Chains A and B, each alone.
Chain A
Amino acid sequence: MSEISPRVNSAILPRFIGQIVRIPCKILTTTENTVTVQTSDGGEILVKFTGDSGITTTFVEIIGHVVDATTVRKAGVINLKSDLDLQVADKVIKLIHDPRFFSTIFS
């Protein structure tokens, strides 16, 4: 179970404190070592990193450790294109975490 990194939105993130998750999101603001992102359900998460963020596009998938309910420490990033339908992504995320399906996907 510790090897998985399920996709989450801001509502589901708090369940995975101390674990690794993936967040499809949109970049809102950037500083030297943080990035504020908007998740698929419209919430905002703070992503911390060191060095170069590696972020080059507006839509990305952040992979990282959950520090607390609104903070993630970045472990990796996948740059997506300049459009991503976050609403569709959100529907998928909700489905993934449905108890009927979660244990089958991440068994």
Chain B
Amino acid sequence: MSYQLDAGVCLQLHTATPNDEELFGSPHTLQILSLKKVGSKQNEATPNSPADRYRVVLSDGTHFLQAMLATQLNDMVSEKHIQRFTVISLERMSCNYVQEKRLLILMTLRVLGQEDVKIGDPISLDPAPGSAAPTPAPAPGKPEKAEKAAQPTSSTSAQPAASRTAAKTNWHPIEGLSPYQNNWTIKARVTQKSDLKNYSTQRGEGKLFNVTLMDETGEIRATAFNQVAETLYPKLEEGKVYYVSKGKVNLAKKKFSNVMNDYEINLERNTEVEECLETTNLPMIKYSFVSLQELQELSKDSTCDVIGILKEYSDVSEITSKATSRQLKKRELTLVDRSEYSVRLTLWGNQAEGFTPDEQNPVIAFKGVRVGDFNGRSLGMIATSTMTQNPDIPESHSLRGWYDSSGNNASFQSHTGTGSFSGGAGGGFTRSEVKPLLEMKLEANRIPESEEKPVYFSTKATIMHIRGENIAYAACEVCNKKVVEEGGSWRCEKCDKTWPKPVYRYIMTFAVSDPTGQLWFQGFNEVGEVIFDKKADEVVEIKERDDGQYNHILYKSCFKTYNFLLRAKRDSYNDNSRIRYGVSRILPLDYKEECEALLTLMETPWGQKDFTADFDSMTLG
């Protein structure tokens, strides 16, 4: 009689959760393909010893899997009620996990009948557990399946080596690192390595160094202290790629690092660092370059990436730091790029001393350099900046091509010469920072006496009145300083040059208003040229010639609205201390742009509130 087995049950048993009561408690018709005694090495002469356990191969006609017979059923084996090819109704079983492996135990079963052959052509579901040879293939056509079942065995015994190679192909992304998971391995490039620094605190002395590790998903800072620092310092080289594992992931101390990551790694004694010797699939430094012309748009003290051709560089010079009174070595590089702008970039310390260009005018890429406002715009290296000569990236190649063909003959603008206020013009007019006059006044007046540096503000205001008495001064064509009339010609004290006729430059004081208040601003030549749309020479000439026309010009220039970038500086004289507002940039309004900005403002919570209540309670004073 041929029995119908419950096909599909084996697969269910193989994948079920251990507390699947329904599955494990309902009867299933299955066939035993083999029985094998395992456990203590009792010889056959002592059957039924309590330590005997029987391993069973169960089939549902489609799949077969391993299970153990519960010891209370051992009698059924010894009394030959169940043997090879017996068909049973399995009524109760249990599923346990032993060392991460699933173990099925047959608890209660009922013999249905005995067959002579295997029913169906079942295939194996699970790899054989442990190192014992798996149950032999019940039928001749199955040896290759058994071999396959044997394969996982050998590999599982070689587990440690396998996991290491697996880690090498399945490394964790830096972006995914967190303190809650410790068995990671990252594959990252050292993009920056600090010196081995000594420090002393109240608790004692020590040394440390840190590196920035970067892969395709992000970057993270890693620090090593004392003993670990000494061991790892020679091992980690800037520019090379390593597998790092078993470091401790902590919250980042943002004070000490510019790296964009909430976490950082502490390299410890058991941290493993292994150099990666593959030459493909290596994490490359990710840049977001801004053109040198675009530097104007960035605010002072922000960081950016740039790439350019090294046009020239200075020798190493030493200066004394105003802040720390220490000697600092520095070197100035001049970079140019296709926007036809040039910029000065400062290297410091050891990097300045050791700098040598790879060739006559190499391409250099910089990551994370700080934007300064010296001479308009300048760049400087900071601890986390990196510098790479002739990197193998497309931007580098195109710069090389441009320079070699035309760039080396081009003339370049620097940010001083672009008509913005010389003498350290600030950043750009930032729309998001625009404040009404009243707010700006309140904020500026909070600038402490001690603050030496100017504070920049952006605002929109309307010119109400221009002081006409002193509108321009006679200037030296070369340095813009005042020239003094001496016997018919005009002499510049600074350059010691004389001119027959001076060039006039605006210097003006004017009152502006907006709905919240009124202030006086100071402006120089650029401001005058925008407001009057005439050169200072012309206005001075009109002023001297025709008072009426001069006043008319002044009047006509009033009641126009501009966007201003202001440098607010505290000025103290005698006992009084006042804020002076110098105009750094003056921008006529683009109505469309302003309209959009106002509409955006209306969409903010401020714009949406019902302010009629405010109006009623407002008093003018």
Give Cα A100 to B592, complex, Å. Answer: 25
- Bitwise, B153-168 to A at CB < 8 A (1) or not (0) is 0000000000000000
Contact across chains for A100 and B595 when beta carbons are under 8 A apart: no
Q: Which of A85, A91, A103, A104 contacts B592 (CB 8 A)?
A: A85
Do A88 and B612 touch (CB < 8 A)? Answer: no
Residues of B within 8 A of A92 (CB): 595, 599
How many of A's residues come within 8 Å of B, CB to CB? 8
Cβ contacts B591-607/A at 8 Å (1 or 0 each): 01001100100100000
Q: Which residues of B (292-330) have their CB < 8 Å from a CB of A?
A: none
- Distance, CA A91 to CA B602, complexed state (A): 10
Select which of B599, B610, B611, B615 is within 8 A of A91 by beta carbon: B599
Residues of A within 8 Å of B610, CB to CB, are 100
Complex Cα–Cα for A85 and B592 (A): 7
**Size range of the chain B interface in the assembly:** under 10
In the complex, how many residue pairs between chain A and chain B have their CB atoms under 8 Å apart?
17
Contact among A85, A95, A103 with B602 in the assembled complex (CB-CB below 8 Å): A95
**A85 / chain B contacts, CB cutoff of 8 Å:** 592, 595
| Residues on the B chain within 8 Å of A91, using CB | 599
**From residue A40, how far is it (CB to closest CB) to chain B in Å?**
12
Q: Which residues of B contact A95 (CB under 8 A)?
A: 599, 602
In the complex, how many angstroms separate the beta carbon of B416 from the nearest chain A beta carbon? 35
Q: How far is the CA of A92 from the CA of B597 in the complex (A)?
A: 12
A100-B610, A100-B612, A104-B615 are contacts. A88–B595 as well, Cβ < 8 Å?
Answer: yes
**Chain B 561-614 residues near chain A, CB threshold 8 A:** 592, 595-596, 599, 602, 610-612
Per-residue interface assignment for chain A, residues 72 to 94, with 1 indicating a CB less than 8 Å from any chain B CB and 0 otherwise: 00000000000001001001100
CA distance A104 to B610 in the complex (A): 10
Alpha-carbon gap, A100 to B602, bound state (A): 12
Q: Interface code A21-51, partner B: CB below 8 Å = 1, 0 otherwise?
A: 0000000000000000000000000000000
Known contacts A95-B602, A100-B610; decide if A88 and B615 are in contact (CB<8 Å). Answer: no
- B609 and chain A: residue at smallest CB distance: A100
In angstroms, how far is the closest chain A Cβ from the Cβ of B594? 10
A88 / chain B contacts, CB cutoff of 8 Å:
592, 595-596, 599
What is the distance, in angstroms, from B212's C-beta to the closest C-beta of chain A?
45
Q: Whole-angstrom distance between the alpha carbons of A74 and B592 in the complex?
A: 27
Q: Smallest distance from the beta carbon of A104 to chain B beta carbons, Å? A: 6
Of all chain A residues, the one with the shortest Cβ separation from B608 is A100
Chain A residues in 8 Å Cβ range of B611: 104
List 5 A-B pairs, Cβ < 8 Å: A88-B592, A88-B596, A88-B599, A95-B602, A100-B612
The 5 A-B pairs of least Cβ separation, nearest first, read: A100-B610, A88-B595, A91-B599, A85-B592, A104-B612
Partner-B contacts on A (CB < 8 A): 85, 88, 91-92, 95, 100, 103-104
Given A85-B592, A95-B602, A100-B610, 13 more pairs with CB closer than 8 A = A85-B595, A88-B592, A88-B595, A88-B596, A88-B599, A91-B599, A92-B595, A92-B599, A95-B599, A100-B612, A104-B611, A104-B612, A104-B615
